[in-house]
Structure 1
Amino acid sequence: MDKINLLVLVTVISLFISLFLAFFLFTFKAKHKISNTLFAIFLIITAIDVSDPLINLSVNGPSNLGMLKNTIAFLQIPVFYLYVLSVCYSDFKLKLKHIIHLLPFLIVNLILLPRFYTVDVASKIDFILNRQNMVELQFNHILFHIQIVVYFAAVFILLRKAKKLYLENYAGTNIDSYYWLFQFTSVLTILYLIVIVKNIFKFSEYPHISEWIKIGILIFQMFITCWYLYKALNNPGLFRNIDSKLKLVSDLILEEKKGGQTMEKEGSNEELFKLQQYMVDEKPFLNPALTIQDVSGAIRIPVRNLSVLINHTLDQHFYDFVNTYRINEAMDILKDDTKNKVTILEILYEVGFNSKSSFNTAFKKHTGTTPTSYRKLLKNSDL
Structure 2
Amino acid sequence: MDKSNLLIIVTIISLFISFFLAFFLITVKTKHKTSNSLFAFFLIITAIDVSEPLLSLITNVPSDLGMFRNSLAFLQIPTFYLYVLSVCYSDFKFKPKYLIHLLPFLAANITLIPRFYSVDTASKIEFIMNRQNMIELQFNHILFHIQTFIYFTAVFILLRKAKKLYLENYSGTNINSYHWLFQFTSVLAVVYLTALLKNIFKFSDYPYISEWIKIGILISQLFIVCWYLFKALNNPGLFRNIDSKLKLVSDIVSEEKKNEPENVHENAHNEELLKLKHFMTEEKPFLNPSITIQDISNHIGIPTRELSVLINHQLGQHFYDFVNTYRIEYAMDILKDVTKTKVTILEILYEVGFNSKSSFNTAFKKHTGNTPTEYRKLLQDNKL
TM-score interval, normalised by the smaller of the two chains: over 0.9
Deviation at 1:381, TM superposition (A): 1.2
Aligned to 2:11: 11
The unaligned stretches of length 5 or more in structure 1 are: none
Q: Which moved more, 1:116-125 or 1:330-339?
A: 330-339
Aligned to 2:285: 284
Deviations along 1:182-239, one digit per CA (max 9) or x if unpaired, are: 0000000110111011111101111011001100000000100011111111122221
The alignment status of 1:265 with 2:276, answered yes or no, reads: no
| C-alpha distance in 2 between matches for 1:148 and 1:261 | 45
Partner SS state of residue 382, structure 2: helix
Aligned to 2:171: 171
Aligned to 1:300: 301
Aligned to 2:98: 98
| C-alpha distance in 2 between matches for 1:76 and 1:25 | 17
Cα RMSD, aligned residues only: 1.1
Aligned to 1:31: 31
The percentage of counterpart residues that share the same residue type is 75
1:1-383, aligned counterparts within 5 Å? 1-262=1-262, 263-381=264-382
Deviations along 1:138-168, one digit per CA (max 9) or x if unpaired, are: 0000000000000000000000000000000
Partner SS state of residue 381, structure 1: coil
| C-alpha distance in 2 between matches for 1:209 and 1:44 | 26
**2:379 partner amino acid:** L
Deviations along 1:284-318, one digit per CA (max 9) or x if unpaired, are: 00011100000000000011111111011101100
Deviation at 1:261, TM superposition (A): 4.8
Deviation at 1:343, TM superposition (A): 1.3
Deviation at 1:274, TM superposition (A): 0.5
| C-alpha distance in 2 between matches for 1:190 and 1:218 | 13
Q: Which moved more, 1:5-14 or 1:358-367?
A: 358-367
| C-alpha distance in 2 between matches for 1:86 and 1:296 | 26
> What TM-score comes out, normalization by structure 2 length?
0.98
**1:23 partner amino acid:** F
| C-alpha distance in 2 between matches for 1:220 and 1:201 | 19
| C-alpha distance in 1 between matches for 2:177 and 2:383 | 40
Partner SS state of residue 190, structure 2: helix
**1:253 partner amino acid:** V
Deviation at 1:16, TM superposition (A): 0.4
| C-alpha distance in 1 between matches for 2:210 and 2:173 | 43
> What TM-score comes out, normalization by structure 1 length?
0.98
Q: Which moved more, 1:250-259 or 1:141-150?
A: 250-259
Deviation at 1:264, TM superposition (A): 2.8
Partner SS state of residue 375, structure 1: helix
| C-alpha distance in 2 between matches for 1:32 and 1:248 | 25
Partner SS state of residue 10, structure 1: helix
Deviation at 1:92, TM superposition (A): 0.3
Partner SS state of residue 98, structure 1: helix
Aligned residues: 383
Runs of 4+ with >3 A deviation: 260-263
Q: Which moved more, 1:66-75 or 1:333-342?
A: 333-342
| C-alpha distance in 2 between matches for 1:19 and 1:274 | 55
Deviation at 1:242, TM superposition (A): 0.2
| C-alpha distance in 2 between matches for 1:125 and 1:22 | 34
**1:208 partner amino acid:** Y
Partner SS state of residue 372, structure 1: helix
| C-alpha distance in 2 between matches for 1:353 and 1:31 | 24
